[in-house]
Structure 1
Amino acid sequence: MTLAPRTARWLVPLALTLLAAALRFIGLWHPQDLVFDETYYVKDAWTLLHLGYEGAWPDDANESFTSGDTDVYSTDAAYVVHPPLGKWLIALGMLLFGADSGFGWRFSAALIGTLLVPLVYEIARRLSGSIAIGAVAGGLLAVDGLAIALSRVSLLDGFLAFFVTLAFWFVLLDRDRTDERILSSEGIVGPLMWRRPWIVAAGLALGAACAVKWSGLYVLAAVGIWIVVHDAIVRHRARKEEWFAGSVLQGAIAFVLLVPVAAAVYLASWTGWLVTSGGYDRGSDANPLVALLNYHSSMYAFHVGLSSSHPYASPAWQWPLLLRPTAMWLARPEAGEEWCGWSDDCIGVIGSHPNPVTWYAAWAAVILAVVLLIRRRAGALTPGFGFALTGLAATYLPWLLYPSRTIFQFYTVAMLPFLVIALALALGWLTRPRDPVTPRDPSPVEVVSAEEVAAAETRAWRVFAIAFVALAVLTAVFFLPLSTGFLEPYPLWQLHNWLPGWV
């Protein structure tokens, strides 16, 4: 018995969303500690909510904050090096549910991480035209350890991943709308389109991404380039004699629709700092915009010069190999203090470990996609592969420019949506119906027809795909404790450490 397409269209993403919500919200209050960089972002969010800018905290503030005494901050300004939007979103969760529990200060991260799953499903479904491929992409993200961990701690990168993916979703909606207009138009240039609301929406999302972390700027540039290049390809395919000139003019229009909107969103995220007088560097100039520029100059210098050692630092070249995930929280109770299963020796960990089966297979899919595009054999999935690779390049390649900077493997959560989309598209390509291939020297007695061979090959790849997805899900279940911080027997934790750098 199979679901009708119309029923599956809403039931599949609903089921994926509920699964993602369960894995992200159940036990969200645990641990009742400020995990890793939560010590900065959660407390910054709380002072944003009360002061309009990030205030300073005493050195022993964490213990007071987690025990419910949240008002030990001062009105002195704290020096922070990331824009405020992600912290405002964290503050929204505390506004709704209070700051006396980890549920309140992690609510927004969990909500955004949950919503990312149906978003990825819909992108993959639209790129492929297949509910099954969309379900694979969304499902692998729903159970992925890195995605879960970054939804259960209030760091900034989960918010960045959502806004970046949302921007690509808007660009995809624009593509479906504008391609048809270009292909059906007349003239040697093609239409010059100002009415592109989805590009404006992408600008809003990218402005929000930049207002979470500056690395959103790279994605803004990549999206702009993709829009221009894709427009040129479609105009050329439509046989417009002046396709290049048309794409240049349309690119200028897209810039006007995209960039100023993004800049306005970014500037709006600093409203609290601009309308109050206590923020860091706020008094550096009588003109608040000049003062903000001065502050940004200082922030830029900090980021460029950030090269301090850290035990979990991981340069970007290591990320595809998954050599050094970040241990963000660890607790090992005394023997007999806690009981877990068959052992009195327990450990609780929250780390940025993606599902290794999904992770390594996704990079293999990326290589396959590149080869297929070069050889022009991707067929109907060519636009999908190009789209996924653009998102991956925008969120990964810029980090390779900073080999000596202190960066971490959990930054890859912004890459993860495009990796699972590429993997799902690759599985779709492998399981596509094969065309019969007639042998050059057919046998006089044909035992098996070319159609039967093609059908058998298709069935074999579909069995492989089903087995792979099942293995990936089982592996995700096995690694789930590393994303949640729930206690597990120490010997079981040791089995999770597949590589030396995972300890």
Structure 2
Amino acid sequence: MTQTVDAPEASGGSRAADVLRARLNRPMPTDRVWGWIGPLLVGAIAAVLRLVDLGRPHKIIFDETYYAKDALSQLEFGHARKFVEDANERILDGDLDVFLDEPSFVVHPPVGKFLIAQGIRVFGMDPFGWRVAVALAGVVTVILLARIGRRLFRSTLLGCLAGLLLAVDGLSIVMSRTAVLDGILAMFIVAAFGCLLVDRDQARARYAEWAAVKVSAGQAMGDGPLFGWRPWRIAAGVMLGLACGTKWSGLYVVAVFGLMTVLWEISARRAAGIQSPVLNSLLRDGPMAFVSMIGAALATYLVSWSGWIASADAWSRQWAADNPPSTLGALVPSWLRSLWHYHWEMWHFHTGLTNDHDYMSQAWEWLYLGRPVSFDYESFDLGENGCEVERCSQAVLALGTPPLWWGACAALLVCLWWWFKRDWRAGAILAGVIATWVPWLIFVDRTIFYFYAVAVIPFMVLAVVFALGLIIGPRDASPSRRAIGVAIAGGYVLVVLAAAAYFYPIHVDQLIPYDDWRARMWFDRWI
């Protein structure tokens, strides 16, 4: 049955239209200049923590042994090649003639290594060169999160607080100073989340204007409008394609974020008073959302393999030529059949990875810092390497800042409660956690590591800031209520900052007395 609206008087229609606008889209903060200056200042803090002495340690640490050399190989040949046995030592000595004339099977897509290679292209094949792109990705992630927090909470202060907490987090710092893929993956995931937030606001603003005209004219809402051109959705799809092109775990994010934007669409149509919001969203907007997001992601992912596609001697590139297709398979281009086979081999590797490792952990241990990962550790006696006491240590430990992570565990419960109370912001934060953390709970037998959680921490930080915003209280609360809330929230932030400063030396390989290093090992499983 068609919904109708009685024609109101002009003033009544105007008031109803204003109510609709307010219900559909809360206004953004008016401090537009500080809305950029604040995040950029927080980004500057992140840059200092990530870029200063980035070349230390002057060695290839942990999984840099794969990604730095693969990045150099992609830069020189367009694909990965095998390398000589003593490649690491030769590279550190300045000898880059380390590759064999034989392709190498690598188990992650090319995007992350392409970005690492750009740092090598500009600064050379040394620790700073192969780390700088990842470090800059970490800085960009901090700035993005500050802007996202501003939009999510409609507060420049809370947005900048989110950026600051991410800037000082220990795991984020380590993963920004090490040439592995997860920090790059986190940047693309956060960027996609931000794009969808902008799309949500723009779509709701358009629904508000459309519905306001209908209400003012006393017309029926009917099935509502269909907004075909939504560029921020396409941008989100591109970011998700780049995420999948960095590591396959981006696929979980595609699924969860896709569902999230559908739920946002249903909510917008319901708030606008459009009839059958669920059915209309699925049948009218759903196909457009699928094409714009999934189509953009798939196209971006395929383009990311262009170096491999153009390299006739890349691993598995000639598989299709050596394995003639069936009649139906002949319709598929040979490069695509070879790429499909490559992906089958990658899938087989990832699902069969069950080797034991000293620093492997289960995903449920990540949130409470059950088993951090030591990327590098060295000890020195008096007089060695500048050690001025009986014994010194240098360490790169991938460990989150404890009060931030432990506080985030409580904040996630707060978000869960407020999501049940229909606060969409809490649901959005939980969607980010679900996309980046929950899938790893399934892989109880696979070899996985805590540092994968660098993609989770931006959303955990948002959960913390959401809870701190509740503690501070609404703008119309009494001055005493706000003062108490600010004191509690500010005290917690100061504790996080103090802890971040305390642990910073063991994140960035600073030389410290052994006793100082041991004092930071609060639990035996941190060693």
TM-score (norm 1): 0.92
Q: 2:60 & 2:41 partners in 1: Cα distance?
A: 31
Aligned to 1:277: 312
Secondary structure at 1:327's aligned position in 2? Answer: strand
Aligned to 1:315: 362
Query: Which whole-Å deviations, capped at 9, do the CAs of 1:439-473 have from their partners, x for residues lacking one?
Result: xxxxxxxxxxxxxxx54333222101111111110
Q: 1:222 & 1:433 partners in 2: Cα distance?
A: 30
Secondary structure at 2:314's aligned position in 1? Answer: coil
Query: Which whole-Å deviations, capped at 9, do the CAs of 1:208-228 have from their partners, x for residues lacking one?
Result: 000000000110111110111
Aligned to 1:458: 482
Q: 2:381 & 2:65 partners in 1: Cα distance?
A: 25
Q: 1:366 & 1:123 partners in 2: Cα distance?
A: 18
Q: 1:292 & 1:102 partners in 2: Cα distance?
A: 32
Query: Which whole-Å deviations, capped at 9, do the CAs of 1:53-83 have from their partners, x for residues lacking one?
Result: 1000122211111221112111201111000
Q: 2:58 & 2:296 partners in 1: Cα distance?
A: 39
Q: 2:167 & 2:359 partners in 1: Cα distance?
A: 25
Alpha-carbon contact 2:158-2:465 (below 8 Å) kept: yes
2:379 aligned with 1:332, yes or no?
A: yes
Aligned to 2:404: 358
Give the partner amino acid of 1:416.
I
Alpha-carbon contact 1:17-1:118 (below 8 Å) kept: yes
1:409 to 412, 433, 450: 450
2:61 aligned with 1:26, yes or no?
A: no
1:235 to 235, 250, 269: 269
How many angstroms does 1:6 deviate by? 4.9
Aligned pairs, number: 476
Query: Which whole-Å deviations, capped at 9, do the CAs of 1:119-164 have from their partners, x for residues lacking one?
Result: 0000001111111101110001111111110111100000000000
Secondary structure at 2:53's aligned position in 1? Answer: coil
Q: 1:383 & 1:130 partners in 2: Cα distance?
A: 16
Give the partner amino acid of 2:160.
A
How many angstroms does 1:351 deviate by? 1.5
2:402 aligned with 1:368, yes or no?
A: no
Q: 1:215 & 1:155 partners in 2: Cα distance?
A: 14
Q: 1:397 & 1:190 partners in 2: Cα distance?
A: 35
1:111 to 123, 129, 136: 136
Query: Which whole-Å deviations, capped at 9, do the CAs of 1:378-406 have from their partners, x for residues lacking one?
Result: xxxx2322211111110011111111110
2:426 aligned with 1:385, yes or no?
A: yes
Q: 2:318 & 2:33 partners in 1: Cα distance?
A: 58
Q: 2:475 & 2:182 partners in 1: Cα distance?
A: 41
Q: 2:406 & 2:252 partners in 1: Cα distance?
A: 25
How many angstroms does 1:430 deviate by? 1.2
Aligned to 1:183: 208
Q: 1:242 & 1:375 partners in 2: Cα distance?
A: 23
Give the partner amino acid of 1:425.
F
How many angstroms does 1:289 deviate by? 1.0
Alignment of 1:61-460 (within 5 A): 61-99=87-125, 101-185=126-210, 186=214, 187-248=221-282, 249-286=284-321, 287-340=334-387, 343-376=389-422, 382-433=423-474, 455-460=479-484
Alpha-carbon contact 1:75-1:278 (below 8 Å) kept: no
RMSD of Structure 2 on Structure 1 (CA): 1.5
Q: 1:435 & 1:269 partners in 2: Cα distance?
A: 50
Q: 2:369 & 2:92 partners in 1: Cα distance?
A: 32
How many angstroms does 1:5 deviate by? 3.8
Q: 2:424 & 2:296 partners in 1: Cα distance?
A: 27
Give the partner amino acid of 2:392.
C
How many angstroms does 1:482 deviate by? 1.9
Aligned to 2:497: 473
Aligned to 2:327: none
Give the partner amino acid of 1:196.
R
Aligned to 2:68: 42
Secondary structure at 1:75's aligned position in 2? Answer: strand
Secondary structure at 2:380's aligned position in 1? Answer: coil
Q: 1:268 & 1:75 partners in 2: Cα distance?
A: 25
Aligned to 2:81: 55
> Structure 1 residues 119, 56: closer, same or farther in 2, change over 3 A?
same
Alpha-carbon contact 2:150-2:156 (below 8 Å) kept: yes
How many angstroms does 1:435 deviate by? 7.4
Q: 1:434 & 1:81 partners in 2: Cα distance?
A: 51
Aligned to 2:13: none
Secondary structure at 2:100's aligned position in 1? Answer: coil
Q: 2:491 & 2:68 partners in 1: Cα distance?
A: 41
Aligned to 1:444: none
Q: 2:256 & 2:297 partners in 1: Cα distance?
A: 14
2:525 aligned with 1:501, yes or no?
A: yes
Query: Which whole-Å deviations, capped at 9, do the CAs of 1:282-306 have from their partners, x for residues lacking one?
Result: 1211311101111110110110111
Alpha-carbon contact 1:161-1:413 (below 8 Å) kept: yes
Secondary structure at 2:490's aligned position in 1? Answer: helix
Alpha-carbon contact 1:123-1:169 (below 8 Å) kept: yes
Q: 2:111 & 2:208 partners in 1: Cα distance?
A: 40
TM-score (norm 2): 0.88
What percent identity do the matched residue pairs reach? Answer: 39
Q: 2:207 & 2:169 partners in 1: Cα distance?
A: 39
Aligned to 2:39: 13
Give the partner amino acid of 1:38.
E
How many angstroms does 1:333 deviate by? 2.4
Q: 1:81 & 1:160 partners in 2: Cα distance?
A: 15
Alpha-carbon contact 1:350-1:482 (below 8 Å) kept: yes
Q: 1:435 & 1:20 partners in 2: Cα distance?
A: 33
Alpha-carbon contact 1:307-1:404 (below 8 Å) kept: yes
Alpha-carbon contact 1:42-1:87 (below 8 Å) kept: yes
- Structure 2 unpaired stretches of 5+: 1-29, 215-220, 322-333
Q: Which moved more, 1:313-322 or 1:329-338?
A: 329-338
- Structure 1 unpaired stretches of 5+: 377-381, 437-453
Q: 1:252 & 1:214 partners in 2: Cα distance?
A: 24
> Structure 1 residues 174, 322: closer, same or farther in 2, change over 3 A?
same
Query: Which whole-Å deviations, capped at 9, do the CAs of 1:331-367 have from their partners, x for residues lacking one?
Result: 2124320334x62411111121011111111121111
Give the partner amino acid of 1:396.
W
Alpha-carbon contact 2:381-2:389 (below 8 Å) kept: no
Give the partner amino acid of 1:326.
V
Q: 2:517 & 2:120 partners in 1: Cα distance?
A: 32
Alpha-carbon contact 2:35-2:147 (below 8 Å) kept: no
